[in-house]
A and B are shown apart, each in its own frame.
Chain A
Amino acid sequence: MTGVPAANRAVPRSAIQRWTRVSLGFTSGFGVLVVALAFVPVVMGASVVQDLTSLLTLVLMAVMWNALAGYGGLVSVGLQAYIGLGAYATVWFALHGINPYWAMVLATLFCTVVSIPLSFIVLRFRGAQFAIGTWVVAEAISIYVSFDNQLGAGTGTSLLQIDSYSPTSREHYTYWLALGMTAFFVVVVFYLLRSRLGSSLQAIRDDEQAAASVGVRVVAGKRILFILAAAGCGAAGALTLANILFIEPTSIFSVNYSAFMIFMVLVGGLGTFEGPIIGAIVLYFIQQQFGNDGTWYLIGLGATAILFALFLPRGIWGMLEQKTGLRFMPVGYRVRRAAIETDGAS
């Protein structure tokens, strides 16, 4: 990264550009969108609010999985561990007299804390081993939870305390929490990737040994991403519980969540900032259309994931980005050479 060839240095008035006009517009547009979305419950009906809640939860999951895989190079098939833990921790905190919505926030913090010691175990793995290693952890936690009678053991439990809210206000609060959580984690990922850490993370993903040799703290960078992903998935689990109200260990710890996350990120664009959001929207519409078709729906998702992995590894957004140079959310650097090219870079 530091070894810029002398020829390039000689180019007059070249500058590192982080914001383009397009990306500046879209980033402020993102802020406006979040504010506008916050008013949806005021003007729209219950079904729209519920649909948007599930969409936001999908976006959150996809962004988290992409942060880990796309920027840290850590493909996990075990993030459902934190989805399940987030949901069950919410039930546990609510059982102990905490307001269900605060319980969801606490559950998110709980997942963050739990992931710290676990990161020391699973980050010993690299590549494919990490994928299954995290899965084993998810399975172990799932079995452990299914022993707990207080949490409904294997037969499941529900968030009864939320009944103290009327159905309408419950939907609204859940929606606002989903919006707040998703926006929060998207912004955290955005700033993380724009920071110095972001460059080192991408260096790790591209070549771990080379990154280590120029002084990047490889394990620390991966650990931050892992903990972040655990926190975000914990939030997504708590929100899933608030949306469906009943959970059982086999469904909330299901590896299908990993399948959904992988599908969204692969289709949208692995390692792009905007891709997972697009992937979540695609999955959301597929779920609306084919979600009731059971096995055929899942066969389609799996086959599409294979095709994208093999033929379009950068996904829809990666392809668009490559073709058009568009960047809505500026997480990278671009070199602008004012003297040679005119200002047509955007």
Chain B
Amino acid sequence: MTWVNDVIQGILLGGYYGIIACGLALMFGVMRIINLAHGDIAVLGAYLMYLLLEHWNTSPFIALLPVLPVMVLLGYFLQRLILQRSLRSGMLTPLLATFGLSIVIQNVLEQSFGPNVDSLGGQAGSIVTSAWQINSEISISALGALIFATAIVIYGALQLFLSRTAAGRRMRAAAEDPDTAELVGIDSRAVYARATAIAVGIATLGGLALALRTTFSPYSGPDQLIFAFEAVVIGGLGSSLWGALLGGIVLGIAQTIGAQINPEWSILAGHIVFLIVLISPRGGLLTLRSGRGMRRRALARGGAT
């Protein structure tokens, strides 16, 4: 029965990884770049809420309301000022620029808040402590369930946005082929800025989830980036939006089962599952052999058949 509980806890943990991975997957899907500062941006969001709560005695959920638009705006300018310029000079530059940004954010946070760990869990009230006891082995924490439900809502909303709205269609078009999209009048720069703004907004929600469920420090960002990336890759890198959530759940289950065997193995178990998925022939749970991918692969092999 403990295994059943581990799997349930892993799924709930996977909800958190799904949230963190969502923005990373969106930016990769739309712009083909991986934002190495993604985890640090989530932590920055958490610190902004922490800052508000220092001066304003309220719930972290209320503190999210002013922080979220600020972060979304930040995402917009991140794209306009840094990423757009770096996109022009090839594949490597966005990586180098966002890695530099990651170092800057971490150290600015340490300079401002000190190296200690903090948490917002204490100010969130009963949701952090309450749980549903199913039986002697299985209990579901209210916070875990809330985070998981939030993940489902985020993915559902993003899917609806991408499939049903005009802005979403433009985003898919620019992702598929920016040059052709430009021909039919889509400003890919505006689309990219919007995608980055959404990604940073979702990362902020991830930052809140992180701050509620555990502690965070100025240097928590890289770990969150790695978990997010593992979730995206396990789910089949960019092949499907929901893949990132599924990957997050697989990662969460791997970590809780690893921790059950030996508490120290939790993170390592996640890394190992990631590497196993990577060396497996399919390389991702939901990797679809799309027509475009097939053609590209055939080209890479040099076969014109």
Partner of A306 from B82, B271, B272, B302 at Cβ < 8 Å: B82
Q: Does A197 contact B (CB under 8 A)?
A: no
- B91 in contact with A309 (CB, 8 Å): no
| A contact residues around B96 at 8 Å (CB) | 75, 262, 266, 305-306, 309
- B226 in contact with A139 (CB, 8 Å): yes
| B contact residues around A295 at 8 Å (CB) | 107-108, 110-111
- B274 in contact with A136 (CB, 8 Å): yes
- B275 in contact with A136 (CB, 8 Å): yes
- B101 in contact with A306 (CB, 8 Å): yes
Complex interface: stretch among A26-34, A52-60, A296-304, A328-336: A296-304
- A309 in contact with B226 (CB, 8 Å): no
Q: Does A46 contact B (CB under 8 A)?
A: no
Q: Does A143 contact B (CB under 8 A)?
A: yes
- B97 in contact with A310 (CB, 8 Å): yes
- A75 in contact with B95 (CB, 8 Å): yes
Closest Cβ of chain A to B209, distance in Å, is 21
State how many residues of chain A have any CB contact under 8 Å with chain B: 45
Q: Does B33 contact A (CB under 8 A)?
A: yes
Q: Does B100 contact A (CB under 8 A)?
A: yes
- B86 in contact with A309 (CB, 8 Å): yes
CB closest chain-A residue, reference B101: A306
A-B contact count (CB 8 A): 129
Q: Does A147 contact B (CB under 8 A)?
A: yes
- Distance A49 CA – B237 CA, assembled complex (angstroms): 49
- B225 in contact with A310 (CB, 8 Å): no
- A139 in contact with B271 (CB, 8 Å): yes
Q: Does B103 contact A (CB under 8 A)?
A: yes
- Distance A299 CA – B101 CA, assembled complex (angstroms): 9
Closest Cβ of chain B to A109, distance in Å, is 24
- Distance A258 CA – B222 CA, assembled complex (angstroms): 13
Q: Does B136 contact A (CB under 8 A)?
A: no
| B contact residues around A127 at 8 Å (CB) | 32, 34, 91, 95
Supply 24 A–B pairs (Cβ within 8 Å), ascending by A.
A69-B92, A73-B92, A75-B92, A75-B96, A77-B36, A121-B279, A124-B278, A127-B32, A129-B229, A131-B99, A136-B226, A136-B230, A139-B226, A143-B268, A212-B302, A259-B99, A262-B96, A266-B96, A296-B111, A298-B106, A303-B100, A310-B86, A313-B89, A313-B93
Leading 3 A-B pairs by shortest Cβ distance: A302-B103, A128-B34, A305-B100
A sample of 20 more A-B contacts (CB under 8 A), given A127-B32, A209-B300, is A75-B95, A75-B96, A129-B229, A129-B233, A132-B229, A136-B226, A136-B230, A139-B267, A140-B271, A140-B275, A143-B271, A212-B301, A213-B299, A213-B302, A262-B99, A299-B107, A302-B101, A305-B100, A309-B96, A310-B93
